[in-house]
Structure formats: structure tokens, C-alpha cells
Amino acid sequence: MTIELQTVPGWGINLYGDMRKLLAILVILALIMYFTKPTAEKHKAAIADEIVKAAVAGGLDSTAIVCWDFEGKNAEFVNQAKQNPEEARKTAMEEVAKTLKLKYFWLCNVGTVTLQGKEQNVSLGAFGHVFCTGLK
């Protein structure tokens, strides 16, 4: 006795063929994610950009500025960010480079830093792009 489970009556769905297509799509997506993980430099640049944007928008009250210690010169950094964002970006990248640690996973990578004694996730890298979190 053979049970035919390839189609769902009334729905017109071929489970065997559709599952193979879905599996193929998932494998292709996983391979794309694996080969397009961003580098550490992309993480540093994205985080530095977010810090500069936060400094310009929120000044010294910005969470990003309060959490990051620019060698005790946060007010100078905020002024620099408003007057010369490119130079402030370099300063922020240097500060980020000191503390950024990347955790590599099979499909993505996560940037973590230790701010005020706690390890925090600050970036997620996937599909060649870096998404920053908690830096507003």
C-alpha cells in the first residue's frame, strides 16, 4: 500500500517539488549571506558614522557620546563633529578600533564593544551591509 503525499487536495500544491524549490532558495540565500559578510573595517566605518551623526544631532546628551569616552574629550569631539565631520569620523574610527570585537557566525557577524563595563552588541553585518544598533 502506497500513500501519495505529493499534492494537497484542493490546493494544487505539489509538496515535493515546492519543498525542493524552497530548499534550493534557502541554500542559495545562505551561500550569499556567507560570502557577503562585511569586514571589520566596514563595521568600524559604519559605527563611526553613526557616532558622528549622533554627535551632530544630539550633542553631549547623545547616548553614543555618553557611552564612548573620547579620552575625556567628549565636548571637543562634538565640536569637531559639527565643524569637520570627516576628521571626527577618523577620530571615532580610532576609538572604535580600540574596543570593537567581531563575533563571526556562519551567516553574519556581530560587532561588540565593552562600554561602561558591559559588553554590548553595536552592529550586525549581513549581505555586505552593517546595521548599527544602540548608538542613537
The answer to whether the beta carbons of residues 37 and 108 sit under 8 Å apart is yes
- Residue 5 is predicted with a pLDDT of 54
Residue type, 56: V
Helices 85-99 & 40-58, crossing angle to 10 degrees? 130
Residue 131: pLDDT band (50, 70, 90) is very high
Q: Which three cell numbers stand for residue 37?
A: 559578510
- Residue 4 is predicted with a pLDDT of 53
Q: How far is CA 112 from CA 7, 48, 72, 133, in A?
A: 47, 14, 21, 10
